[in-house]
Amino acid sequence: MNYYKLLRALFFAILVAGFSSGAYAQATRTWVSGVGDDVNPCSRTAPCKTFAGAISKTATGGEISVLDPGGYGALTITKAITVDGGTGAGWGSSLFASTNGFTINITTNLSTDKVILRNLSLNGGVQSSLGVDGIRFLDGQQLTVENVRIFNFSGDGIEVNQSQASNLFLKNVKITHGGATVTTGVGIKITAASTCAGTFNDVDIDAMGSHGVQFVSNSVFVVKNLNVARCGGSAVRAEQASTNVTVENSVSMGSNVGYEATSGNLRITNCGMYNNNTNLTTNVGSTGNNRNAGNTTTNVPAGLGGFTTN
């Protein structure tokens, strides 16, 4: 009789242990720290060491939070999640050597597949390895990037390259020090069969080898407070007939072309073009109060709407 009681007690203990393991493996909120360890349950008192170690223990729709600054490594995201680096001096940071930083590749294609990257500093480390991106959005419904710094990448700061409809929202994002000729700050490079729509607000892009922002195919965006400087290509470039982009309260400076539309609809309002080789291409629409100064070549946009040249 005692033997059977012992077996029952042992079975119950194993069952409880299994549930406990599953509970922390799918916590709604997990934590990482520079002094953590990925064998930990990623709790606040026993944090993990890397983002990759924490995501397997974070439930879909949950959040990975950062306790202190540290190099938390690259991360491939395959489910809805938030990664929050904290604020102030405690911002989460990662150094990526010759590898993409964050790759979002959620193949379930659900309307709930939303990813938020917030309060992060992403350092590419080296610029000699071509094609290394800060953030790659390959599949998933929605990506929000907020209060994020991206620098020293040899590929794109942010690349959207997928075949399904998606949304991209950028707020208070700075992308700098691209360097290589292939570098684009934000590249919306979706296929002709898909659409990417969203908003930019308070985005700064500096020193890209190619374009500041490149819209390809079905791109539908409202862009406000975008400052782009020193790009080897265009500060803002629209490339396909299906592109519809409105840019307001923004500045292009020191680039080859300020605003360029090889096709599609690119409209600017209350925008400045300063010290570019060419201020804009003539098929860019002006809807009012745009300004020029110091450009080598100054073109007149389609629809004068308050366009002035100093």
Q: Are 289 and 272 in contact (CB under 8 A)?
A: no
In this structure, the answer to whether residues 90 and 135 fall within a common structural domain is: yes
In this structure, the answer to whether residues 13 and 113 fall within a common structural domain is: no
Q: What's the CA gap between 255 and 230, in Å, rounded?
A: 5
What is the predicted pLDDT for the residue at 8? 57
Domain boundary among 25, 41, 60: 60
Kindly indicate the confidence band of residue 240, based on its pLDDT and cuts at 50, 70 and 90: confident
Please provide the DSSP assignment of 181-197 as one string.
TT--SEEEE--TT-EEE
Other C-beta atoms lying within 10 Å of the C-beta of residue 237:
26
Q: Are 231 and 208 in contact (CB under 8 A)?
A: yes
Tokens of 268: 């600017």
Residue 300 vs residue 224, higher pLDDT: 224
In this structure, the answer to whether residues 51 and 66 fall within a common structural domain is: no
Q: What's the CA gap between 213 and 187, in Å, rounded?
A: 6
pLDDT > 50? residue 78: yes
pLDDT > 70? residue 49: yes
Percent of the chain with pLDDT over 90: 61
DSSP for residue 58 = E
pLDDT in tens, 194-226: 889 999 999 999 999 999 999 987 889 999 999
Residue 24 vs residue 105, higher pLDDT: 105
Q: Quick check: helix, strand or coil at residue 251?
A: strand
In this structure, the answer to whether residues 237 and 186 fall within a common structural domain is: yes
Q: Are 236 and 251 in contact (CB under 8 A)?
A: no
Domain boundary among 17, 38, 60: 60
CATH number at residue 240: 2.160.20.10
Query: Which residue segment(s) compose the domain that 13 sits in?
Result: 1-60
Kindly indicate the confidence band of residue 306, based on its pLDDT and cuts at 50, 70 and 90: low
Determine the residue type at 275: N
In this structure, the answer to whether residues 32 and 130 fall within a common structural domain is: no
In this structure, the answer to whether residues 121 and 159 fall within a common structural domain is: yes
Q: What's the CA gap between 51 and 189, in Å, rounded?
A: 27
Angle, vertex CA 23, rays to CA 17 and CA 24, nearest 5: 100
Q: What's the CA gap between 99 and 45, in Å, rounded?
A: 30
Q: Is the dihedral of CA 39, 42, 43, 49 positive or negative?
A: positive
Q: Are 134 and 124 in contact (CB under 8 A)?
A: yes
In this structure, the answer to whether residues 42 and 125 fall within a common structural domain is: no
Residue 192 vs residue 235, higher pLDDT: 235
In this structure, the answer to whether residues 273 and 211 fall within a common structural domain is: yes
Q: Which of 36-40, 85-89, 103-107 has the lowest mean pLDDT?
A: 85-89
What is the predicted pLDDT for the residue at 305? 60
In this structure, the answer to whether residues 48 and 89 fall within a common structural domain is: no
In this structure, the answer to whether residues 252 and 289 fall within a common structural domain is: yes
Domain boundary among 43, 60, 77: 60
Burial class of residue 26 in the structure, from the number of CB atoms within 10 Å of its CB (0-12 exposed, 13-18 middle, 19+ buried): middle
In this structure, the answer to whether residues 45 and 118 fall within a common structural domain is: no
Please list the residues that pair with 257 across neighbouring strands: 234, 278
pLDDT in tens, 112-138: 789 999 999 998 876 555 558 999 999
Residue whose structure tokens are 């949304």:
167
In this structure, the answer to whether residues 55 and 67 fall within a common structural domain is: no
Residue 170 vs residue 180, higher pLDDT: 170
pLDDT > 80? residue 304: no
Average pLDDT over residues 1-9: 53
Q: Which of 77-86, 158-167, 176-185, 249-258 has the lowest mean pLDDT?
A: 176-185
Give the number of domains in the chain.
2
